[in-house]
């Protein structure tokens, strides 16, 4: 069994964050390791409080864990504060520096960055002064998976038009340095369309994925589940386009089977 690592916030409802990531990893037959960046107090409708982890403990956990084994893929989710994000970055840098074989760096571990800024109820899940650090981390990403508001906030592009979404994707891959960006269109009115932009050398290719809106109401944790599914599939050796295609189908099917375990949002069933 391959192993994937999630570095994410804890969601006691199990619908989002690290708890969801581990369930998705297991769904795809991948062992899940997890480092918690923050505790949250939340129910199915809103986040009541965020308690960031001690930044030094996040780094210590990463050091101890990554000396012991190398995950086949890593997912970053909620990072809470600039200090936590900095220590995550240090941990990833140490992993990269340690992976030298025969004097040459070994193949990089795929990293999926879900650039979580806020919960659906508007509560900030990353402090504003940490956005620059998140942009740095996006530079290490194999794939970054913003929704439309996140893409707009991080790139300053107006994403209300198709050209604007394409400009935001271009900024994420060409300016910030991600290998690929998947901008999720679920927040727009009408049928959701996602854009996958992939950089190869100096060329960027764009693929639009058509979706259809399901009338099921608010579903908790879809963004976390999508990024976790891509991470698990990359850990298993899928190519990026394969992983994105399978992960989108997985989330769509999980929404169609969703259940209302809580009172204020539905939960994915997979
Ligand atoms: N809690 C944690 C720990 C998260 O990482 C996220 C989203 O990434 C959420 C809550 C918010 O989920 P939603 O946007 O479905 O409210």
pLDDT of 201 reads 83
The Å distance, Cα 20 to ligand 1 centre, comes to 10
Q: Name the residue with tokens 């099917």.
A: 253
Q: Which protein residue's CA is at the shortest distance from atom 5 of ligand 1?
A: 17
Please state whether the predicted TM-score (pTM) of the whole model is above 0.85: yes
pLDDT of 244 reads 98
pLDDT of 152 reads 98
Which residues sit with their C-beta closer than 6 Å to ligand 1?
Answer: 8-9, 11, 16-17, 40, 47, 77-78, 116, 119-120, 125, 220-221, 223-224
CA 212 to chain centre: 22
Higher pLDDT, 69 or 209: 209
pLDDT digits (tens, 9 = 90+) for 170-192: 999 999 999 999 999 998 888 88
With cut-offs at 50, 70 and 90, classify the pLDDT of residue 240. very high
Mean pLDDT across 120-130:
97
The minimum-distance atom of ligand 1 relative to the CA of 220 is 15
With cut-offs at 50, 70 and 90, classify the pLDDT of residue 226. very high
Cα-Cα-Cα-Cα dihedral sign, residues 82, 34, 69, 227: negative
The Å distance, Cα 69 to ligand 1 centre, comes to 28
pLDDT of 268 reads 97
With cut-offs at 50, 70 and 90, classify the pLDDT of residue 146. very high
Pocket test for ligand 1, best of 119, 146, 149 (most atoms within 8 A of CB): 119
pLDDT at 104 over 80: no
Q: Which protein residue's CA is at the shortest distance from atom 4 of ligand 1?
A: 17
The Å distance, Cα 125 to ligand 1 centre, comes to 8
The minimum-distance atom of ligand 1 relative to the CA of 265 is 15
Cα distance between residue 98 and residue 113, in whole Å: 21
Pocket test for ligand 1, best of 6, 9, 134 (most atoms within 8 A of CB): 9
- Count of alpha carbons within 13 angstroms of residue 105, beta-carbon side: 8
Domain encompassing residue 144: 3-267
Q: Which protein residue's CA is at the shortest distance from atom 11 of ligand 1?
A: 119
Looking at every residue in the chain, the average pLDDT score rounds to 96
The Å distance, Cα 11 to ligand 1 centre, comes to 7
Q: What is the DSSP string of 152-212?
A: HHHH---TTSHHHHHHHHHIIIIIS--SEEEEB-TTSSSS-EEEEEEEETTEEEEEEEE--
Mean pLDDT across 235-246:
98
Highest mean pLDDT pick, 188-192, 214-218, 262-266? 262-266
Pocket test for ligand 1, best of 34, 44, 78 (most atoms within 8 A of CB): 78
With cut-offs at 50, 70 and 90, classify the pLDDT of residue 103. confident
The CATH number given to whatever domain includes residue 98 is 3.40.1190.20
pLDDT at 101 over 80: no
Beta strand pairing call for 3-9 and 31-42: parallel
pLDDT digits (tens, 9 = 90+) for 30-76: 999 999 999 999 999 999 999 999 999 999 999 999 999 899 999 99
pLDDT at 266 over 80: yes
Number of domains the chain is built from: 1
The minimum-distance atom of ligand 1 relative to the CA of 221 is 15
DSSP state of 259: B
CB atoms within 10 A of CB 266: 21
The Å distance, Cα 29 to ligand 1 centre, comes to 23
% of the chain beyond a pLDDT of 70: 100
Rg (CA), the chain: 17
């Amino acid at each position: 069994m391959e192993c994937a690592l999630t570095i994410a916030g804890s969601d006691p409802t199990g619908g989002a964050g690290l708890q969801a990531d581990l369930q998705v990893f297991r769904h795809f037959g991948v062992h899940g390791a997890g480092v918690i960046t923050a505790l949250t107090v939340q129910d199915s409708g809103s986040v009541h409080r965020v308690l960031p982890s001690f930044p030094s403990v996040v780094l210590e956990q990463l050091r101890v864990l990554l000396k012991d084994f190398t995950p086949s893929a890593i997912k970053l989710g909620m990072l809470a504060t600039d200090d936590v994000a900095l220590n995550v970055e240090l941990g990833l840098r140490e992993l990269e520096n340690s992976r030298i074989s025969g004097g040459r760096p070994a193949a990089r571990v795929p990293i999926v960055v879900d650039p979580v800024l806020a919960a659906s109820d508007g509560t900030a899940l990353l402090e504003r002064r940490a956005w620059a650090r998140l942009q740095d981390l996006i530079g290490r990403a194999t794939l970054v998976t913003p929704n439309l508001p996140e893409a707009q906030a991080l790139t300053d592009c107006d994403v209300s038009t198709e050209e604007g979404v394409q400009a935001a994707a271009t900024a994420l891959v060409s300016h910030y340095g991600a290998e690929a960006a998947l901008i999720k269109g679920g927040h727009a009115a009408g049928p959701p369309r996602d854009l996958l932009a992939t950089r190869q050398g100096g060329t960027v290719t764009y693929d639009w994925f058509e979706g259809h809106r399901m009338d099921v109401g608010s579903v908790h944790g879809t963004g976390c589940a999508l990024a976790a599914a891509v991470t698990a599939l990359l850990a298993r050796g899928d190519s990026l386009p394969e992983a994105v295609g399978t992960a989108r189908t997985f989330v769509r099917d999980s929404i169609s089977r969703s259940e209302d375990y809580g009172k204020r949002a539905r939960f994915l069933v997979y």
